[in-house]
Structure 1
Amino acid sequence: MKLILSILFLLLSTSAIGDDDFQWFTADGKKAPEQANQKAKGGLGGWLLITPDKDWEEKWQTPREHTPFFSQASDVKIGEELTVLPFFANPKLDNGGNFEIRCDIRVEDPEGTLSINEQDIPCAVGKLDMDPKSIFLTSTVIKFIGEEGDVFGKWTVYFDMKDVLRDVTVSLQASFNLVE
């Protein structure tokens, strides 16, 4: 098993203060139902997306007026890779427009063994100059590459995002299957 915890450096730069009212919506504008991988709590929105897209970073680095599309995956084979993309929205901002999101990250194999167990790591810190209700990618992504000897079955990613200024944590969970 090759799991890579990547830290991307993301410096965002606002003057608008994120409020405690945030909700995810579907593409047709309806309120999205809460799911294990996409929730909002106390104003903070969190979303985990598992993608097989090797070009996910290029897709993300597009102009703001362009909405990127990411394929989603639930299965991976030996030699293939998946990337877990943790998104957030509406961080609370201080008077200077600064925010801080810290994360606890665990990845559990089908036998219950933790291959990643990181606590209280900085996932997104910066200053915003745009609407805090926009969708942002954390600076921490997880890459999984299936290798010979890995345990087949359901792998689960637990990702807790804590808005330090708001003192709210959104606990997310997503899974994929390593198949033969």
Structure 2
Amino acid sequence: MILITADQDWQEKWNTPREHVPHFTETSDVGRDGTLFLLTFFGNPAVDEAGRSKLLCDFSLIKPDGSFATEQRDAVCFDPDFAMERDTTYITNITVGFKADSSEPKGSWRYKVVIKDKIAGTELPLEAGFKVK
């Protein structure tokens, strides 16, 4: 799942005890000089004998004209040193911050992520969008 938020304190909201469910303010647009954070979550990846997963991500942020603001392939987006727990939601270590300064074009932007589970040999494509006003 991709979540788009303007919450400057998203890390503090996420880094809480497991019993506490964080609540983020989702948004789909941003005005000039506003900031968004593009967060990618997942659950139940395949694990090795030690209970660890290995995920790589391709991600890109696409401008309204179709050109890439950023693009990266095979980024290590989750490679924990702890055993995974079933039925738990995790956040990747790929977080894109976006600042809508005056040089950024107005219009619809797209954020694409492909989560690659290297143990299971599967891929999960995700996409979300927001509008710069």
Q: Which TM bucket (shorter chain)?
A: over 0.9
1:116 aligns with 2:116: no
1:57-136 matches, cutoff 5 A: 57-136=11-90
Give the unaligned 5+ runs of structure 2.
none
Q: Is the 8 A contact 1:97 1:127 kept in 2?
A: no
Measure, in 1, the Cα distance between the counterparts of 2:25 and 2:44: 24
> 1:143 deviation in Å?
0.4
Q: Is the 8 A contact 2:108 2:132 kept in 1?
A: yes
> 1:81 deviation in Å?
0.2
> 1:129 deviation in Å?
3.5
> 1:128 deviation in Å?
3.8
TM-score (norm 2): 0.96
Cα RMSD, aligned residues only: 1.0
1:1-180 matches, cutoff 5 A: 47-179=1-133
1:114 maps to a residue whose letter is F
> 1:130 deviation in Å?
4.9
Q: Is the 8 A contact 2:50 2:83 kept in 1?
A: no
Q: How many residues align?
A: 133
> 1:131 deviation in Å?
1.9
Q: SS of 1:149's equivalent? A: coil
More displaced 10-residue stretch of structure 1: 90-99 or 165-174: 90-99
2:47 maps to a residue whose letter is L
Report Cα offsets for 1:31-73 as digits up to 9, x if no partner. Answer: xxxxxxxxxxxxxxxx100001000000001110000000001
TM-score (norm 1): 0.72
Measure, in 2, the Cα distance between the counterparts of 1:129 and 1:173: 28
Give the unaligned 5+ runs of structure 1.
1-46
Q: SS of 2:57's equivalent? A: strand
Measure, in 2, the Cα distance between the counterparts of 1:146 and 1:51: 13
Measure, in 1, the Cα distance between the counterparts of 2:117 and 2:21: 25
Q: Is the 8 A contact 1:98 1:125 kept in 2?
A: yes
Moved runs in structure 1, 4+ residues, more than 3 A? 127-130
User: Taking every aligned residue pair, what percent have the same amino acid on both sides?
Assistant: 32
> 1:133 deviation in Å?
2.3
Report Cα offsets for 1:93-149 as digits up to 9, x if no partner. Answer: 111112101000011000001011100110000244452320001011000000112
Measure, in 2, the Cα distance between the counterparts of 1:143 and 1:159: 14
